[in-house]
Amino acid sequence: MNRILSLLSLFTLLLIVTASCQQSEPQPAQKEWAIALHGGAGTISQDLPDSVKARYYAGLEEALRVGELVLRDGGTALDAVENVVNTLEDNPLFNAGRGAVFTAEGRHELDAAIMDGSTLAAGAVTGLTTVKNPVSLARIVMQESRHIFFSGVGAEEYADQTSVERVDNDYFHTQNRYEQWQRSQEQASAESTPMTMEKWIEDSKFGTVGAVALDSEGRLAAATSTGGMTNKQFGRVGDVPIIGSGTFANHVAAVSATGWGEQIMRNVSANTIANHMEFTGSSLEEAMNFVVTERLNPGDAGFIGVDSLGNISMQMNTAGMFRASLDADGNRTVMIWQDE
């Protein structure tokens, strides 16, 4: 009996010590707000002229500042991600809005999506040809329509019922994208055999813009916008407007993706990151690393994410990703390549 009592006493002592240790472990700090953005991932040469690098860094800084001003003044995560993506859509350096790549037919077709993590409300559009800022139309779809996703002619007709700014398709034209499209066309016609998917992906520059944010009320939001892939075929839809693939937000995390859309869709990547966190108890960093290294192949994609505590992760398995982040504690990052 004495031995049993001794064992019970020892067991009770171990429980008390364990509970005490758990209570003494520092709890993760809750940041007041946080934001991250990306401007595309892929093969980004480090031989870029200094003047071009400076323009990209300046573009990332400008967009980050836009988001900072919204969140610092108590604005919503939705306003922050929409305004940041608008800024990137208006910057011809990035493949979204003005600066979007050309399709095989020599025109521009744009996709976008936005999601409110606090309500799971979402809006998405694809195949737009005259909407200056597609992510703003996606937000109107989210807030004013009983539907989530509009495509092609239907998306344009829905835009007709709103006040979003419209432009001619030529507005999206930039000389750099035009020359890129011409090279792609020439290469495709010069091939003695049809270009393989692998070769097409290798020669395509991945480009998408996106933003994720946590606001002072604890709400998460994500938004993404893109011109797709250079020389994409008629009617092609990538991951960006597919809720859960390229864009996702819930109470756990907000995630935006960039890269090879087909691969991102196959793995429902953005949602997989959030689910991995929720169902395994892993951190945002761990969950994103799982998708980047275990679910996707090298060279496929990059992601940005923020969790409910304001922790930020930006990871890719490509050579580079235009990216930036900032939180209320002043932690700031503006980067392009892996090894900066």
Active site residues: 208
To the question of whether residue 310 is assigned a binding role by annotation, the answer is no
Q: How far apart are CA 61 and CA 69, in angstroms?
A: 12
To the question of whether residue 258 is assigned a binding role by annotation, the answer is yes
Q: How far apart are CA 333 and CA 144, in angstroms?
A: 35
Q: How far apart are CA 247 and CA 258, in angstroms?
A: 10
To the question of whether residue 237 is assigned a binding role by annotation, the answer is yes
Which residue, chain included where needed, has tokens 């995390």? 253
Q: Which residues of 148-176 are buried (b: 16+ CB within 10 A; e: fewer)?
A: bbbbeeebbebbeeeebeeeeeeebbbee
CB 273 within 8 A of CB 255: yes
To the question of whether residue 261 is assigned a binding role by annotation, the answer is yes
In the Cβ-directed half-sphere of 269, how many Cα atoms lie within 13 Å?
36
Q: How far is CA 146 from the centre of its chain?
A: 25
DSSP conformation class of 172: G
Neighbours of 23 (CB within 10 A): 8
To the question of whether residue 337 is assigned a binding role by annotation, the answer is no
Helix (H) or strand (E) holding 23: helix 2-24
Q: How many residues does the chain have?
A: 340
Q: How far apart are CA 240 and CA 111, in angstroms?
A: 7
To the question of whether residue 299 is assigned a binding role by annotation, the answer is no
To the question of whether residue 260 is assigned a binding role by annotation, the answer is yes
SS3 assignment, position 224: strand
Q: How far apart are CA 144 and CA 278, in angstroms?
A: 30
Binding residues, by number, are 236-239, 258-261
